[in-house]
């Protein structure tokens, strides 16, 4: 994939993770991918975009995934392994391919969708997780969606459960666990701006030492 620098961001719902990603991309002058990834995957796979939106980061209960992954070669949307698999797996694999193609062509920030897993072999990929205290998340979602705090809490729990189930199933790692990422930040403790500064400092350490800087982070599974 060359020397493209990729930032993947996992996030709790209401943690400002998307804003961190958007502002980071703007600061660096690189592309930001969130819903845009769905559009790209839909176009390349031939599936309609509405299907991607309805299955976006949704959990699955199928036991067939490990079987189809053994026979799927990537990007082959007209072959039997892809055509015969469940729809939710088609969506995941189309996104998986789109993420790898994007990372091969440009530096960028990608939010969610197991991007860290798709780019596990990419040495220039920095995997980040953004969290925030529940009270702060409730307040943000309540104001953003104009709902009661009790309703906001229910929405947060549902979205977090969907994201964690989706991530845990497809990656065999644990969503939100520091060991699944390179850098974990709490936006209840620091601002979005400070979060970006720490991310850039971490990247500087990666460039300087060609290994992961131990400052501001927890142990990485790739150490």
Whole-angstrom distance, CA of residue 93 vs CA of residue 207 = 31
Radius of gyration of the chain (CA): 17
pLDDT in tens, 42-78: 667 666 666 656 666 666 554 444 444 444 445 555 5
> Which domains does the chain show, CATH number per domain?
6-209 (3.40.50.300)
Over the stretch 78-130, which tens digit does the pLDDT of each residue have?
554 555 556 777 778 888 888 999 999 999 999 999 999 999 999 899 999 99
The partner residues of 31 in beta bridges, in order of sequence, read: 108
Is the Cβ–Cβ distance between 182 and 16 less than 8 Å?
A: no
Cα three-residue angle 68-70-75, rounded to 5 degrees: 75
Whether the pTM exceeds 0.75: the reply is yes
φ, ψ of residue 10 in degrees (nearest 5): -90, 155
């Amino acid at each position: 994939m060359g020397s493209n620098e990729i930032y993947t961001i996992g996030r709790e719902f209401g943690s400002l993770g998307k804003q961190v990603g958007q502002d980071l991309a703007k600061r660096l002058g690189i592309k930001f991918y969130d819903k845009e990834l769905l559009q790209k995957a839909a176009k390349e796979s031939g599936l309609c975009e509405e299907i991607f939106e309805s299955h976006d980061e949704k959990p699955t209960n199928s036991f067939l995934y490990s079987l189809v992954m053994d026979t799927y070669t990537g990007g082959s949307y007209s072959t039997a392994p892809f055509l015969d698999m469940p729809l939710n797996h088609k969506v995941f694999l189309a996104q998986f391919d789109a993420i790898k193609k994007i990372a091969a062509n440009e530096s960028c920030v990608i939010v969610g969708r197991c991007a860290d897993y798709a780019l596990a072999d990419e040495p220039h990929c920095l995997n980040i997780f953004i969290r925030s205290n529940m009270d702060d998340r409730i307040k943000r979602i309540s104001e953003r969606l104009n709902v009661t705090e009790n309703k906001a809490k229910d929405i947060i729990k549902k979205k977090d459960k969907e994201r964690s189930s989706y991530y845990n199933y497809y990656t065999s790692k644990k969503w939100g666990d520091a060991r699944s990422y390179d850098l974990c930040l709490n936006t209840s403790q620091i601002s979005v701006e400070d979060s970006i500064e720490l991310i850039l400092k971490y990247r500087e350490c990666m460039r300087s030492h060609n290994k992961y800087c131990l400052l501001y982070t927890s142990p990485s599974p790739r150490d």
